[in-house]
Amino acid sequence: MTQARIYMDWNATAPLLSEAREACVSALDLVGNASSVHAEGRRIRMMIENARRSVAALCGASPASVIFTSGATEAANLVLTPDFRMGKTPLKIGRLYVSAIEHPALREGGRFAKNDVQEVPVTPAGMIDLDALKAALASHDRAGGLPMVAVMLANNETGIIQPVEAAAALVKEVGGIFVVDAVQAAGRVPLSIEVIGADFMVVSSHKIGGPKGAGALVARGEILMPSALIRGGGQEKGHRSGTENPMAIAGFGAAADVAAKGIDERMAAIAAKRDRLEAAMLAAAPDVLIHGKGDRRIGNTSFFTLPCLKAETGQIAFDLEGVALSAGSACSSGKVGQSYVLTAMGHDAGQGALRISIGPGTTDAEIDRCAAVFAKISGRRRLPVAAA
């Protein structure tokens, strides 16, 4: 009898929540355009605004400061621009500083020219080097505009949590703009745009159990705003034109409601399963290198290198055993390559690494089976023979 497959790639996309599915289906049954003033249009508008409140609550922000987009990549491209406005006054951003481990959606620099994007190194522990950031900001030429800094809260490969509050303080000292990628952190650590000190936060629907095709740029207020990326009908207060996607937005809002509740208790249970899996991995293969172990990580992620096993080979081997996991992050379409995150941390990235990411639906039985598959695969490696 064929065993059911095990899904352990929640960081790539989380399974659709039943609450989100129901919200999506309900939205499909509604007729009308949210920009219309008749009853049907107002009903759609009310549903969108309810979702906006839910996403705002997840981020500790004001609903008026949530801009819905087609996903986190669009939200990143919306905010990463040299052209801002402070109210009605144009505001120039001269340079973008991004950590070396950012998701490509931010690492590519959005609408900044390539020579106006500067990479900030990370420490061997995989955290942004705050001294390097401070030095970069100290040498910033304000004659060309203000500095902007973009840092992820939790790394999508290692799960390592970044010192965003400390980074925010450095940016605030020089009057810059601070953007936080909270895509992997949402629903896994409590979020507050005010506590972090971010000016903008990027979040995604499908990472928290909502449908694909929805994301949001969350602002700290309504005065400081980037120039629009998509212009036209003036939806989302002119910040993102185009008829809203009610189905995706409704599902996003429902997922945000679930994600915002009981985060600490939920993640403690998930982390216990992750830690039990890692203990079993170390017992089966003491030479396995678990990146970030001992550091502060989101509790669902394990990123590891198994000596003498190429990441792409390992991914295929797990897949053939019925376990879905990633070789690095699922940030590019169908690509499996060297991890730039490992390179930035100073590791030899030639062999790559595998990422297991779990969630609330992961069972103890699935943890046990994954551990057994790991032991089987690690036992098949051709280890080098020690010299006599």
Active-site choice (24, 59, 308, 331): 331
Give the C-alpha separation, 94 to 147, whole Å: 6
Radius of gyration over every alpha carbon of the chain, rounded to an integer in angstroms: 22
End-to-end CA distance of the chain: 46
Buried-exposed string 246-269: b where 16+ CB fall within 10 A, e elsewhere: bbbbbbbbbbbbbbbeebeebbee
For this structure, is 370 an active site residue? no
Residue matched to tokens 């053939």 = 320
Task: Report, as residue numbers or ranges, the catalytic residues.
Answer: 331
